[in-house]
Amino acid sequence: MAPPVTHSVTIQPSGHRFSVADDATILEAALDAGINLPYGCKNGACGACKGKVLAGQVDLGIAQDSALPADERVAGMALFCCAKPQSDLVLEAREVNAARDIPVKTLPCRVQALERVATDVMVIRLKLPTNERMQFLAGQYIEFLLPDGKRRAFSLASPPHADDLLELHVRHVPGGNFTDHVFNKMKVKDILRIEGPLGSFFLREDSNKPIILVAGGTGFAPLKGLVEHALHIGIKRPMQLYWGAKNRAGLYLNGLAEKWAAQNGISYTPVLSEPAAADQWTGRTGLVHEAVLADHPDLSAYQAYVCGAPVMCEAALKDFTARGLPREEFFADVFSYAPK
C-alpha cells in the first residue's frame, strides 16, 4: 500500500498553516496541529465545523445532506470533520480562540467506566451519544444536572483531543448527596445529563512564558487535561507541576506525573502536608504553594495555573503576586464543595 500523500492547508483569515495526509480529515489534522476549528459531532451530522474551500479540492466524505445541502456543496462549502484533502487547500474557517467561541450544550451521557484510584477518589469516564461530541478547552468543566434541579460541577481531566470519553476525578465528601451516590450507588451504563463546557480556566496558548501548575488534591484533574493537551500539540514552554496532598495516598496518579517528568521533561514536585509514618516520605512537606515560593524568589516572568480549595487559591494569589507574578497571569480553578 502506498503511503498517504500530505497536503498543505492554509486557514483564512488567520493565515494559520498545517499539513494533512489525504487519508485524514481536515479537522483531525487541524486539532493535532493545535488549531482549534469548531466542531460538534465529528460525523457529518451537525454542521458546526462548516467552512468554505477557497482553493483546492476535497472529498466531502460522509457529510449528510441535512448538514451540507446541495446548494452549499456547489458554493464550495465543506464539513471539515469528514472532508479529506485531494490537493493543497486554502480554507475559510472560524477558529476557536476563547471559551466564548464554544457553544454550551446540554447532553445525555452514559457512565462508561468507574475506577477507584484512592479510598476517596473516583475516576468517572462518560460516553456521549454516537452523534455528539463536546468541544472544550483544556481545563474547562462540566455540570451534572440532577433530578432535583441541583447542579454539581467537576473539571474535565481529559484533554480536548481525547473527546471520545470525558474523564472526571470525584472526591468523596461524606454526607454529600452526589458524591455519596457516586461512591455507593453509581453503576456503569447509568444515564446522566450534563451541561458544558463551562469556565474561563483554560490553557492560554498565545503566551511564551514558562508555566507553573499548582494542584491541591483533585485539583490535579484540570491540570492533567492542560498538560496532556500541551504535550499533544507540542508546546515547548517549560512546565513545572507542584501537587499537594495530605498524605501519599492523596497523590492518586503520582505515577502519571512521574512519567511526565521522566519522558516529557516536566518538572514535578509532590508536596505532603501531613505525611503519615507509613508513607515513609522523604520528599517536600508543608503547603504546596509555599513550595513554589521556596523555589522561585521572582515570579514576574511566569504564568500560573492553580487548582484546589479556596484557601489555597487565595493564598497563592496573594503570595505569588507579592513575588512579582502579574495578576493577569494568574488563573485559578477554585474547588468549593456544594451544600448537601
Return the domain boundaries, the chain: 6-95, 110-198, 211-334
Q: Top-level CATH class of 110-198? A: mainly beta
| Letter string b/e over residues 143-152, b meaning 16 or more CB atoms within 10 A of that residue's CB | bbbeeeeeeb
pLDDT above 60 (res 339): no
pTM above 0.85, yes or no: no
pLDDT band for 45, please (50, 70, 90 cuts): confident
Instruction: For the domain made up of 211-334, give the CATH fold.
Output: Rossmann fold (3.40.50)
What's 6-95's CATH class?
alpha beta
Would you say 182 and 144 are in contact if contact means Cβ atoms under 8 Å apart? no
Q: If DSSP codes are grouped into helix, strand and coil, which group holds residue 117?
A: strand
Helix 310-322 × helix 288-295 angle, to 10°: 10
- Fold match between 6-95 and 211-334? no
Angle at 142 between CA 238 and CA 195, to 5 degrees: 145
Q: How far apart are CA 235 and CA 115, in angstroms?
A: 30
What pLDDT sits at residue 160? 92
Which range has the worst mean pLDDT, 99-108, 164-173, 295-304?
Answer: 99-108
Nearest in space to 43 (alpha carbons), one of 87, 83, 101, 90: 83
